[in-house]
Structure 1
Amino acid sequence: MATVSNLSQIKQYDPLATAAKAGNDVTSTKDMTQNFLKMLTTQLRNQDPMNPTDTASMTTQLAQLNMVDSINQMKGTMTSLLSQIQSSDFMNYSSSVGKYAMAASKSLSFDGKTPMNLGAQLVNDVSSVLATISDDKGNVIAKEILGAHSTGMVNFSWDGTDSDGKPVAAGKYSIALSALSTEGGTFTPDSFVASMVAAIGKDSNKNPLLTLADGRAVAPSDIAQWIA
């Protein structure tokens, strides 16, 4: 006949206490492990020798708790490491302020005097690329034929003049690209516009975010080229 010992030393489940503690510590794996150890040893001490309790399941649960505890510790370590990497990246990108970053865009913010560095991303070898500059009303201001190029980024610039070579006023303009592949097909390459980095900030996930002088906010991964 099995005997019953005093189990008062084992922590009892209290819903109110648990709810109050949840706001401060939602991962009490250490306490749970200690409780399971007490339960396991108490059960072994009081089991019927003629009908012993199977402890394999409890041992498995205990091992799982230890695994969860290790995962929680690893998660904390990885979170800390990620925070350090993000802080390091943020400090590194601060040196890019004042430099020109080339990122995808069709909009041009011309200041009336500074030539604009532009780019065309080609996915095929081409026999010709045509760049068309238009004003904010859609009127074509200038066109430039870039000629034949291989796959990759093609860099060129617009000096702020129209088709007659006359300077245009400062303002908003747009660029459109069209290309003729060496196989005879046509396609529209992605256009890139360079602008000076004005400030470095962070997005909602605390990742570096570069604010450009033309008003764009881009992630470092969106930058195709750096131009001195």
Structure 2
Amino acid sequence: MIDATTYLNNVTRNDKPKTPSKELGKDAFLKLFVTQLKNQDPVNPMKEKEQLAQLAQFSSLERLTNISKAMEGLAKTVNTVIGLTSTGYIGKTVMAKGFSVSKKGAETTSASINLPVACKSVYVDVFDKKGALVRSVEMGSKNAGKFDFKWDGKDKDGKAADDGQYRIVVRAEAPSGKKVLANIEVSGKVKAINTAGGQHVLELEDGRKVLLSNVTRVVA
């Protein structure tokens, strides 16, 4: 007696994996089913309920396969549409979840920091691309909510840091002494849209990259 699961396991067990063909799968299953009927024991023939159960199982498997393929096609279509519509971000300044800021000359990009609770002390640490601490900026006490941060581009000795990209980390502490995790959004002007690994990536004018899915708002 065969069933759809056994059939699929048998036809897909090869030395080299092959993509199963939908049409061949149908024909092969039906041929096996008919062969089974022809060669069944006359004294102990397959019961009608067993036949119907096999056909129903195959029919259900076929429907699930069709639904799965339809969903894959829909997902690809939606992803394509999102990619086309996201070109509207080009030339716009966006805020997105992230940790990177950039410096060019006397200009640095800004960030928005959101605290879930009031904090007695808040520090924003600035690290270079090698992971070295460049500057630790004391922000004092802060209420719950958002506040803007803009690094002045100077290191801990008061000298101008090199141009490039930097990473910021927020150290916040509640009155109870408990560490507080802050949410950070960074800003930048969109230059281009790229697709990598099925995800849409916004390329900013300063070279930074943010996921389209991480964009929280368009500033201008």
SS at 2:142 equivalent:
coil
Q: In the alignment, which residue of structure 1 is the partner of 2:150?
A: 157
Give the C-alpha shift of residue 110 in structure 1.
Answer: 0.8
Provide the aligned length of Structure 1 versus Structure 2.
200
Residue 130 to residue 225, structure 1, CA distance change in 2 (3 Å):
farther
Q: In the alignment, which residue of structure 1 is the partner of 2:49?
A: 56
TM-score when normalising by structure 2: 0.68
SS at 2:176 equivalent:
coil
Q: In the alignment, which residue of structure 2 is the partner of 1:213?
A: 205
Structure of greater Rg:
1
Tell me the alpha carbon deviations over residues 20-46 of structure 1, each in whole angstroms, 9 at most, x when there is no partner.
xx96862234314543674587579x9
User: Gaps (5+ residues) in structure 2?
Assistant: 1-13
Q: In the alignment, which residue of structure 2 is the partner of 1:222?
A: 214
- Structure 1 vs Structure 2: percent identity of aligned residues? 22
Q: In the alignment, which residue of structure 1 is the partner of 2:193?
A: 200
Amino acid at match of 1:77: A
Give the C-alpha shift of residue 90 in structure 1.
Answer: 0.9
CA RMSD in angstroms, aligned pairs only = 3.8
Please give the alpha-carbon distance, in whole angstroms, between the structure 1 residues aligned to 2:217 and 2:106: 22
Alignment of 1:1-228 (within 5 A): 26-27=21-22, 28-32=24-28, 34-35=30-31, 38-39=34-35, 47=42, 52-101=45-94, 102-105=96-99, 107-133=100-126, 138-140=133-135, 143-145=137-139, 147-150=141-144, 152-160=145-153, 168=160, 171-172=163-164, 173-187=166-180, 189=182, 191-204=184-197, 206-228=198-220
TM-score when normalising by structure 1: 0.66
Amino acid at match of 2:193: I
Give the C-alpha shift of residue 104 in structure 1.
Answer: 1.6
Tell me the alpha carbon deviations over residues 100-151 of structure 1, each in whole angstroms, 9 at most, x when there is no partner.
333321x4321124342112232432234233556776443x735264221x
Amino acid at match of 1:62: L
Query: CA contact under 8 A between 1:33 and 1:66: conserved in structure 2?
Result: no
